[in-house]
Structure 1
Amino acid sequence: MSIEQRMIKVNGVELCTESFGRSGHPAILLIHGAGHSLLAWEEDFVLRLVAGGRRVIRYDNRDAGLSTHYPAGAPPYGLRDLTADAAALIDALGLVSAHVVGMSQGGAVGQLLALDHPGRVASLTLASATPGVPGQEQPDLPPMSAGLQALFTEEAPEPDWSDRAGVIDHLVEAERPFAAASRPFDEAGMRAMATRVAGRTANLAAQLANPFLIDAGEPWRDRLGQITAPTLVLHGTEDPMFPIEHGRALAAEIPGARFVAMERTGHEVFPRAQWDTVVPAILEHTEPR
């Protein structure tokens, strides 16, 4: 299976994209979460979707992977810019619309894309997301775990970015608190992923910091009822960032949305143990209508 990699210029930035599958097949656009890059969508997972007759595009957001990056701590863009980038990318790829799959912050981008660029969204899949602005207090929904709250409030020491082994260790340990507690942490798999990330990312300090600093803009939870794209919501039963009630509320507030719980899953991009559930659900959801 050949991979078409392209640097595509949109909105004054360059985004690295990788396309899999045949151009005539229904297109799925994968939007990763904060701190990650297109590598978060494992190639084996992508190939399962391709085997189901889909064209799949994964890409690096600003400050991720090989895309345009800025000094760590000073991102000159906001969440609406990431949304405009996704819409422009769909156009640049020659697509009328795409089946959008967004994880965490990518799920926030997906919500805004469906609200502000509805013609670009053939269907919407939201994974490990919250209704509306990530990080905004939602009084009716449970907060993140105490462990994660401490993680975000404490000033964690940065690794020596010139020490490759130390950076890989840092990347592995950064993911551990987000994993499901009931399942052994896949340290070997995460270390292999971290090694790929460390070898590919243009500015790791920016990738790990800037996406968490961007302005989300005006809240939009009260607009979720305006989403017209067919929507699938996937959420881990052990998500410490956005407890599962966030996913249930998201599905309840989007007309006609279907909710699927991912057992023994935390705030993490689809663990392999969930692929037999997730892949058929996405393929069914992205069937031509």
Structure 2
Amino acid sequence: MSTFNTRGITLGIESFGDDSAPLVLLAGGTTMLSWPDALCERLAAGGRHVVRYDLRDSGKSTTTDPQAPSYTLRDLAADAASLAGRLGGRPAHLAGIGVGGMVAQVAVLDHPSAFSALTLVGTRPVAPGPPDDDLPDHDQATMSRLFARPMPDWSDREAVAEFAASGAEILGDDPVAARAIAARIWDRTPGTAPPVQMANQMGIVFSMLDCRPRWRERLPEIEVPALVVHGRRNRFFPVGNGEAIARVIPGARLLVLEEAATAVPDAAADEVTEAMLTLG
């Protein structure tokens, strides 16, 4: 893992594979560890230069004040375009997971010449907040259970890892994997200030971003090959959100992972890799 400076900020990055190979850029949701090691390694073995990165206010990227971000969703999209151009030197395959998928949608719309393909994993076509009437919202019973839990002591690594494991169990993800990833995120987080730890573990900064104007109506403008991956058991962004995206992006392929929820499980890494490699 290292850092990369662009547009006056620092972004935490990790590279896999041959630097001269076609670039696959993975936008975190919000940290790079949202993208599983197994998927990164398989993409690299498939002849790609894979770079996963932390969004602002997470991981090793510039962290200022997650409770009052001074940037917008479009700034995050511009970060992706700048990173793609400086790392690859040619249009890159951009992938975003969760809220990183929102960044990826806007990046491809606002900076079409920077990207050659688009993969969207477990995301939706509208900003945080109430969705459009035709889109399924978070499962309310699941959200009630998630937010009924007391916050952990953010200075306690094991408490944070346990909090992540219990959340994964509620969401239908693997609690063992979630515990391990949360511990790695904690280790990479600059300090133990609760707002910073929460931003890294829960992505709360996104609820405070300016995400205007809407981009959903522009999705038919996307001209690059697109893949939409969604877990059938995703209770946070139910699968209808992925289906809605795939319907309106011209030629998009929808890949539903029947046994997955919000995370990409290692068992699905080969299937997702194969689908991504077919895009270019």
Q: Is the 8 A contact 2:39 2:270 kept in 1?
A: no
Decide which of 26, 35, 41 is 2:35's aligned counterpart: 41
Aligned length: 273
Name the TM-score, length of structure 2 as normaliser: 0.90
Give 1:63's aligned residue. 57
Give 2:193's aligned residue. none
Q: Deviations over 1:179-206 (max 9, x none)?
A: 2xxxxx5332222222211111224233
2:182 is the alignment partner of 1:186: no
2:154 is the alignment partner of 1:158: no
2:63 is the alignment partner of 1:75: no
Task: Read off the aligned partner of 1:199 and give its amino acid letter.
Answer: D
Q: Name segments (4+ residues, structure 1) moved above 4 Å.
A: none
Structure 1 pair 26/140, CA: closer, same or farther in 2 (3 Å)? Answer: same
Q: Is the 8 A contact 1:227 1:254 kept in 2?
A: yes
Q: Is the 8 A contact 1:147 1:177 kept in 2?
A: no
Greater CA drift, 82-91 or 169-178: 169-178
Q: Which runs of 5+ in 1 are unaligned?
A: 180-184
Give 2:106's aligned residue. 112
C-alpha separation in 1, matches of 2:48 and 2:119: 15
Q: Is the 8 A contact 1:8 1:92 kept in 2?
A: no
Give 2:230's aligned residue. 235
Q: What is the 5 A alignment of 1:117-266?
A: 117-150=111-144, 154=147, 157-179=150-172, 185-202=173-190, 203-207=196-200, 208=202, 209-266=204-261
* SS of residue matched to 1:71: coil
Pairwise CA RMSD: 1.9
Q: Deviations over 1:129-176 (max 9, x none)?
A: 212334342111222211244367x57643222222212212222333
Structure 1 pair 90/216, CA: closer, same or farther in 2 (3 Å)? Answer: same
Identical pairs, percent: 38
Q: Deviations over 1:85-143 (max 9, x none)?
A: 11111122242211011112111111111111000111001111212334342111222
* SS of residue matched to 2:2: strand
Q: Is the 8 A contact 2:168 2:175 kept in 1?
A: no
Structure 1 pair 156/137, CA: closer, same or farther in 2 (3 Å)? Answer: same
Give 2:14's aligned residue. 18
